[in-house]
Amino acid sequence: MFQNKEQTESILVWEKIVSIFSIPSQNEILNFKQKSPNNIDNNLKQLFNFVKLYKLESLVLDWYFESIKKYFKSTLSNEFWKFFNNVNLAELDSSTTSGRQLKFINHQFALSINLLHKVFSFFKSNLFLFYELLFKKESYNFNFLIKKLQDLLITNIMHTTNQQTKYFNTILFMFFERDFISFTKSFYHSKKQILKDEEENNNNSKDLEFNDQQQEEEEEEEENEEESKSYIIMEMSFEDSITDINIKEDSFMDLCKKLQDLNFIVISEEIFTQILFKKVFEYIETRCKGVFEKSFLKSILEWADQVIFKWLAMILLSSTTTTKINNYNDIINNNDDDNDDDDDDENKENSLKIFNQWKKRLEFSIYENYSQQRISELFDMIVQYPDSLPSLEDLSICFQKIPIEKTMITNLKRVLHNRLLHPGANTSDIITQYISTIHAMDIIDPSGMVMEKVGKPIREYLSQREDTIRCIISSFTEESNEIYQELCNYDPQDNGGDDDSNNSLLAFGNCDLYVDEGDNFSSIDDFKFWIPNKIDGSSTTISIGNAKANNNNKKKKKKDTISHLVNIYDGIDLFINEYRSMLSDRLLSVVDFDLDKEIKNIELLKLRFGDSVLFNCEIMIKDMVDSKRLNLQIKNSQGVNNNNNNNNNNNNELKEFETLILSQLFWPTLKGDEFKYPKSIEKKMQIYSKEYERIKTPRQLIWKQHLGLVDLDLEIGNNIQSFQVSPIHATLIMLFESDDGDDDDEKELTLEYLSKQLEISKDLVKKKLIFWLNNQIIKETSHETYKINNKEKEEQKQRQQQIENDDQDESSSDDDDDDNNIVVEEEEEEKSTSAKEKEEQMRVVESFIIGMLINFKTLPLERIHSMLTMFNSELYTSTIHELKAFLSKLVNEEKIELVGNDFKIKK
């Protein structure tokens, strides 16, 4: 009987609950006004007590959620999508939708969210009532009920079908994208107004710096206008949205707060990612592409702080404040001490946590997009160094913030291979860009690890070129080159490589040690506790006995530019040998014994590479100094001997005869073709040898006949020309000098005769004659027969011949002669102009031809023609026959030579 009564009462309670909390009509829900928890009817409290008494709590809650689910699915979903009946959702696209239609869609979206929020608030209020009267004392989490309600709403409104999910995401994307554009325009509008107000205030002042300040403000205003233009992607104006910016932001924040309550913000993460990342990329691409002279990273971060993060705060932090967000940092730092609601504090803490996560993601995206933009143009930045220094410093900041090392190395190596390391590039240009790369990488990564990897293909390529060492050595000795300046500024104390420290290191442990010049070992303790850097650049600490060493306290010595250049090869021996060879060429061409520059260069190189490796070079300089002294001594001695012997004929034998005496063991091998000197020169050489043997007994001189310089004054007719030539060239021209007093220009010599007189081959004589032929000193009268080219006599003969021809042609018609002369002159002028243009064109591509022959050593005519056509189609338009003629001219100029069918550089 008692049990039946209890069942009956429980049924009555259940029916009462069902009647009270059944889903009302749509209008009742929309007109619902939330009551305070303190104003709950006593009858309702008593009803819930019976629910608890009969343990119907879970049953009631499950029933209510099931009722909500049915309502959402059958009624609310239809009501929501009715707002978009006039929109073609299947063809909805933000890029093609007009501004007016966007405004309508956003308006309908706002109305639909208001509907959902009112319904949500109604059910939330009832759930709160259940929580207060049924579950509060049981430590039941009210947020769990709200989360379940949110999930039911999302599932039954938007995720009923895949199409509905797609449509809703599109609408949500268009809403936030349009608002972001509007917000950005508002920001630039307000910023422009501030600049305008400042400009008006500045107009009232009469400072001396007014013009400069005004110019800076105008530039900044133009820059802001460009930024604003880059964001006006859609057809919209301020009239399309709410004109009052404050009201618009408040309305947007109110809608975002409702979206937050409905949990739509959390599920829209992919949409935010797409919009914000897209805007970050567009902003960086528009402002920074191709501009390297300015630093943009700081201004981009400031823009993100004022635009991106503020807009994001309006969305994510709208539920934590009721005031307008001017600075999101104010919300973050506001503790709301007067707020005692633990739930609100927890919600605020969660919102701030989410916002900070978003901020970090966006900051990372900014660094990533900016670094990708700069890495794609890194080669151009290197080419424009040092003008691109601001951009390189920005990239250095990105390098420290995010992991871009691998991407940068891969991209730069690929671009270097395509744009620099190819046969068409001159070695000097490659070295110049290599040096710029060293400077740029030193800014980006001071540790040098990136440069080590990026520079490897450049070093390998340069090591395969024959003229690399010569180009590098030239840069060491040219005062205008930055490498020379670095050599001059080198401080051996910074290198930690002085002799005393090296000796102490070599004495350590009675073992052989190699101390690299870049190592910064100032004491034996530094060496004992040296720790190499890890691959990732981090430091390590180890213990040796009772001593600890932390390599973080010792900064790794950076390689300077010279070290990078020297490291192209395994050691410095190649460089020193090449320098010795170049020094030999320069010393052998010195006439006045001015050695100050060479002595300075050697001293600088000694500071850098040590005394021992340049010992031979010092001996070479010493030979030059001794030669100058011996020349003076022998001349004075010869003059005294001649005076004592009353031999006035030989007083001036050695007056204009200078000799360089070289120490054979210390100079490079000086190879050349020996020939027979004229008797007058041989006589001077014998006199000099005797005097030298008398002074330097028992030493003897071995003459290098192919070396030296001869100053010549050639008098041909009334014309005097001066030349400085090699001994063999001087000997050749002296053979044309008449012995019997006849005119020199009447003397004709054959190639065979010249070969016998000089005791060398005909081919060598023919090559040496090219110099005098090109300078029009001699001319070829017939095959392999030559004579002095006396232009005055030739012109006189031509004038005489012309007079005779004119006399013979007096009977000809004057008019016909004039017409013919005009035609001939015009044709000659056209041919001359065309030939000059073709000559200028070929001279332009001459450097490319020389570069190809340096790189490939030998090339046939057809290969040179095809390579010029492929790589220089704009400059090179000649035929293969024209190229052949031009190469023959270069052969005559002794720039290249023809061996068989291949051309190569003349050595």
**DSSP structure class, residue 326:** S
pLDDT at 775: 84
Query: What's the CA gap between 238 and 748, in Å, rounded?
Result: 96
* Cβ(198)–Cβ(217) below 8 Å: yes
Burial tier of 160 (Cβ tally within 10 Å: 0-12, 13-18, 19+): middle
Q: pLDDT grade, residue 375 (50/70/90)?
A: very high
The backbone torsions φ and ψ at residue 529, rounded to the nearest 5 degrees and listed phi first, read -105, 20
Please tell me the least confidently modeled range out of 7-16, 183-192, 540-549.
540-549
Query: What's the CA gap between 563 and 448, in Å, rounded?
Result: 12
* Cβ(179)–Cβ(271) below 8 Å: no
Among residues of the chain, what percentage have pLDDT more than 70?
A: 71
pLDDT in tens, 263-275: 888 778 788 788 8
Which has more pLDDT, 437 or 349?
437
Q: How many CB atoms lie within 10 A of CB 430?
A: 20
Sheet containing strand 785-788, edge to edge, reads 748-750, 785-788, 778-782
Is the pLDDT at 220 greater than 80? The verdict is no
Q: pLDDT grade, residue 394 (50/70/90)?
A: very high
pLDDT in tens, 697-721: 888 888 887 888 888 888 887 778 8
Task: Give Cα 13 to chain centroid, integer Å.
Answer: 80
Is the pLDDT at 240 greater than 50? The verdict is no
Distance set, CA 12 to CA 15, 19, 50, 51 (Å) = 5, 11, 10, 10
pLDDT at 795: 66
Query: What's the CA gap between 369 and 347, in Å, rounded?
Result: 33
Q: pLDDT grade, residue 137 (50/70/90)?
A: low
- 3-class secondary-structure state, position 608: helix
- 3-class secondary-structure state, position 209: coil
Q: pLDDT grade, residue 457 (50/70/90)?
A: very high
The pLDDT mean for the chain works out to 76
Please tell me the least confidently modeled range out of 44-58, 457-471, 867-881.
867-881
User: Cβ neighbours of residue 376 under 8 Å, at least 6 residues apart?
Assistant: 411
Average pLDDT, stretch 791-804?
66
- 3-class secondary-structure state, position 40: coil
Residues 257, 259, 264, 269, CA torsion sign: negative
Residues 522, 526, 527, 528, CA torsion sign: positive
Is the pLDDT at 366 greater than 90? The verdict is yes
3-state SS, 667-716, equals CCCCCCCCCCCCHHHHHHHHHHHHHHHHHCCCCCCCCCCCCCCEEEEEEE
pLDDT at 507: 37
Cβ contacts of 518-525, under 8 Å, gap ≥ 24 = 518/557, 518/558, 518/559, 518/563, 519/557, 520/495, 520/496, 520/554, 520/555, 520/556, 520/557, 521/496, 522/496
The backbone torsions φ and ψ at residue 799, rounded to the nearest 5 degrees and listed phi first, read -65, -40
Q: pLDDT grade, residue 439 (50/70/90)?
A: very high
Q: pLDDT grade, residue 332 (50/70/90)?
A: low
pLDDT at 722: 86
Q: pLDDT grade, residue 799 (50/70/90)?
A: low
Is the pLDDT at 856 greater than 60? The verdict is yes
Burial tier of 610 (Cβ tally within 10 Å: 0-12, 13-18, 19+): middle
pLDDT at 643: 56
Is the pLDDT at 82 greater than 80? The verdict is yes
Burial tier of 684 (Cβ tally within 10 Å: 0-12, 13-18, 19+): middle
CA torsion, points 12, 17, 22, 28, in degrees to nearest 10?
A: 120
Provide the phi-psi class of 879: left if phi over 0, else alpha when psi is between -120 and 50, else beta.
Answer: beta
User: Cβ neighbours of residue 695 under 8 Å, at least 6 residues apart?
Assistant: 630, 633, 634, 637
pLDDT at 200: 64
pLDDT in tens, 581-603: 888 888 888 777 778 888 888 88
Q: Could you give the angle at the alpha carbon of 755 between the alpha carbons of 753 and 734, nearest 5°?
A: 75
Is the pLDDT at 688 greater than 90? The verdict is no
* Cβ(324)–Cβ(246) below 8 Å: yes
pLDDT at 311: 85
- 3-class secondary-structure state, position 279: helix
Average pLDDT, stretch 372-378?
93
**Tokens coding 891:** 């052969």
pLDDT at 370: 94
Residue type, 504: S
Is the pLDDT at 500 greater than 50? The verdict is no
pLDDT at 343: 58
Domains and CATH numbers, the chain: 1-171 (no CATH), 380-492+558-609 (no CATH), 832-905 (1.10.10.10)
> For residue 686, which of 662, 664, 657, 708 has the smallest C-alpha distance?
657
> For residue 719, which of 792, 775, 787 has the smallest C-alpha distance?
792
pLDDT at 640: 54
Please tell me the least confidently modeled range out of 473-487, 508-522, 825-839.
508-522
DSSP string, 412-465: HHHHHHHHTSSTTS-HHHHHHHHHHHHHHHHHH-TTSHHHHHHHHHHHHHHHTS
pLDDT at 2: 45
Query: What's the CA gap between 424 and 593, in Å, rounded?
Result: 39
Highest mean pLDDT among 196-200, 442-446, 731-735, 880-884: 442-446
pLDDT in tens, 816-830: 544 444 444 444 444
pLDDT at 444: 93
pLDDT at 275: 86
pLDDT at 412: 94
Q: pLDDT grade, residue 874 (50/70/90)?
A: low
Q: pLDDT grade, residue 879 (50/70/90)?
A: confident
Residue 541 β-bridge partners: 550
Query: What's the CA gap between 314 and 252, in Å, rounded?
Result: 8
Label residues 724-755 b or e (16+ Cβ within 10 Å = b). ebbbbbbbbbeebeeeeeeebbebebebeebb
pLDDT at 208: 41
Please compute Rg for the chain using Cα positions: 47
Please tell me the least confidently modeled range out of 388-392, 547-551, 786-790, 825-829.
547-551
Average pLDDT, stretch 858-872?
81
Please tell me the least confidently modeled range out of 359-373, 402-416, 858-872.
858-872
Among residues of the chain, what percentage have pLDDT more than 90?
A: 12
DSSP string, 507-542: TGGG------TT----SHHHHHT--PPPTTS---EE
User: Cβ neighbours of residue 355 under 8 Å, at least 6 residues apart?
Assistant: 312, 313, 316, 317, 328, 332
